[in-house]
Amino acid sequence: MLKRFLFLRGAEFFALLILAIVPLWVSNSYALGLLTLLAIYGILLIGLDVTVGYLGQVNLGHAAFLGLGAYAAGLCVTLLGWGMAGALLMSSLVGLVFGGLLALPALRLAGPQFALATLSFSALTATLLNEWEGLTGGAQGLSLARPPLLGLSLSAHGFYWLCIVLLAVVWLLMRNLLASQWGRAFEALRDSSIACDAMGVSTYRHKVAGFALGSGLGGLAGGLYAFNFQYLQPQSFTYELMVILLLGVVLGGRKSLWGAFFGACLIVLLPNLLSNRLLFEMLAAAGLLLALIAAARAYRHQSAQLFQRLAPIFAMGLLVVGGFMVDNTESWRKAIFALMLFSVVVGLPDGVMGFVAKFLVRSLAIAPARIAAAARLESVLSPQRADGLPLLELQNVRRYFGGVKAVDDISLTVNAGQVHGLIGPNGSGKSTLVNVISGLYAPSSGAMRLQGKALPVGSLLKVSRAGVARTFQNLQLFAELSALDNVMLALRGVYRTPLALLLLGLARRDERAAQAEAMALLDLLGLQNEARTLAKDLTYGAQRRLEIARALARKPTLLILDEPAAGLAKPDVQTLIVLIRTIHARGISIILIEHHMDVVSELCDVVTVLDGGKVIAQGTPEVVKRHPKVIKAYLGVAQEELAEPLIQKEFPAC
Ligand code: ADP
Ligand code: MG
């Protein structure tokens, strides 16, 4: 435990301490300038990592935020005569606001489209800074004098220490934020925004907040940049800088403050590395060594394909050999960037710091943080009203897709405390119906009420907050999060600490309580030993159970399970039946879509049968199985006597 603490916190403290005291010996103003730039780029890349690493968006607009922040600070000083504190506040605010605005298309656009939107934004900004000569001085540039900070005029050393203090503050606050429910939400968005909303975590709010935050840090870095160089030109903030920033984040390691810091070191030193022959050769040799170690480890753990192991060695080898062959490494700058980026993307997907951290954790045998002991299940899932009164009422609900009447005039009542089965042949509209209930789709017409109140329509988030939780037929887990984090993200009612206290690191009690509740649910679903396993690394059966645990974390009044047994082996199906019984025993009402008839017979109080988007039969499993229309729908013939043995096993083709 102590080792872990020293490893995590000690290293941070030590690095910042060294940065703070180095200038006491360094009087060389060029070196001090590099160190100052390192602190500024550190803040900039921590901001970029929020959008690129955590939110997983290709953000090509970050250099523009640096520019906007720089000009905002510059203009506050030259036009308004503000001091440094006010100007820096303004540059952060400009980044924050424009970042929030840029996030709005991000909510509509996916992947490459969003990358293009951010690219247009940065082109627009560069043009604006260049052409609005009356304000920015255009291509002539904008000169400014470094203003006093709260009445104190700063020397080069003083300004450096200001940058270091700001880096330390940003580091600390971001560490606390990213280790909290916010950080989990940022990451979860990347894997499945649908599941985020369905688990009551607003995609909209977190995406906008994440972008605004990252861009706000970009703006702050811009303000410092302006006061560092005291001369601004629009062409400093174009796409070429953006590529270098991305290189920094990817090389350093995404989703890591250390990664951002390492990336910043690299960006600052890169021009020097390329112009100094000895340094360049040392870098290339270190790169080759790293590639060899990575390949050896991958070989030992059988964790990468041959290509992944050999390509970085080849690329770094090329760098070493090439270093001896070319005269001027600077003119090969772009090729060298490309080789480095290629090696990292292929060989070290977690970046240099991700690799180093894993290596240290393993070789120093640092134990992972302890997880809180499981809470009592009774306190997590308190028994609910199960009086058999109507819980969910659907009236004439329709959902059409063009000409396809997927759900066609369905009226249905689910009573509190029951397991309500929903069956029907493939394409009969079962998933569409639950998608309408849970808010993924808005109904084309019809009314829905939950506990007598109108159910929100067309919003997963609102329906989830109204007390409906669901699983998905095609799993929607947060693949890159651990099983524990998947459940913790969905937990309702444990996170109470206000943001300001959370940023100061005072949310530990919430986190422990959330861990305890999540562990109780993982226990219930037999996943207690998989708490740290990433969802994508779980077996298929475990993934299905994890989705149920996550839905239970919502503490729902109505739980919708869309084919939970699909693809499971026989023994797993039996386990699942026992589990659903246990959940039901806690008073939770369940809608169960299922095509294994034995599961339906064992679990359901009532079964509704759909065909072609309509209800064709309803009643107890025994009654429904013998219903002529049901037999016809499944077998295509109305032969009652045939039905029993066939349906008993499993409905075919569902
Ligand atoms: P089930 O879950 O019972 O197998 P679904 O609800 O998935 O059936 O599908 C019912 C019908 O609606 C099918 O014909 C399907 O092709 C159609 N459908 C479902 N979702 C969509 C969609 N998003 N767009 C267009 N058609 C859809
Ligand atoms: Mg379906």
Radius of gyration of the chain (CA): 29
Contacts of 5 (CB under 8 A, 6+ apart): none
Report CA(427)–ligand 2 centroid distance (Å): 7
Q: What is the pTM of this model?
A: 0.86
Percent of the chain with pLDDT over 70: 95
173-226 pLDDT, tens digit each: 999 999 899 999 999 988 888 999 999 999 888 989 999 999 999 999 999 999
Q: Is the CB of 210 under 6 A from ligand 1?
A: no
Which of 371-380, 530-539, 555-564, 589-598 shows the lowest mean pLDDT across its residues?
371-380
CB 249 within 8 A of CB 60: no
Q: Is the CB of 218 under 6 A from ligand 1?
A: no
Report CA(429)–ligand 1 centroid distance (Å): 6
Bridge partner residues of 420 (DSSP): 591, 606
pLDDT of residue 394: 95
Question: How far apart are the C-alpha atoms of 519 and 318, rounded to whole Å?
Answer: 49
Question: How far apart are the C-alpha atoms of 289 and 296, rounded to whole Å?
Answer: 11
pLDDT of residue 649: 40
Question: How far apart are the C-alpha atoms of 72 and 94, rounded to whole Å?
Answer: 7
pLDDT of residue 640: 43
Percent of the chain with pLDDT over 90: 43
Q: Is the CB of 424 under 6 A from ligand 1?
A: yes
Half-sphere exposure for 203 (CA within 13 Å, toward CB): 21
Bridge partner residues of 398 (DSSP): 445
468-522 pLDDT, tens digit each: 999 999 999 999 999 999 999 999 888 888 888 989 988 888 999 999 999 999 9
Beginning with the edge strand found earlier in the chain, give each strand of the sheet holding 404-415 in spatial order. Answer: 404-415, 390-401, 445-450, 453-454
Angle separating helix axes 111-131 and 239-252, nearest 10 degrees? 130
Residue 29 structure tokens:
């103003």
CB 319 within 8 A of CB 288: yes
CA distances 399 to 409, 410, 412, 474, Å, are: 8, 10, 15, 20
- Ligand closest to Cα of 614 equals 1
CA distances 374 to 181, 485, 547, Å, are: 19, 14, 18
Residue located via tokens 């200038």: 23
Alpha helices in 50-83 (DSSP H): 62-78
12-29 pLDDT, tens digit each: 888 888 888 888 887 788
- Ligand closest to Cα of 472 equals 2
336-394 pLDDT, tens digit each: 777 777 787 777 778 888 878 777 877 777 777 888 887 888 888 877 777 778 999 99
Return phi, psi of residue 513, to 5°.
Answer: -60, -40
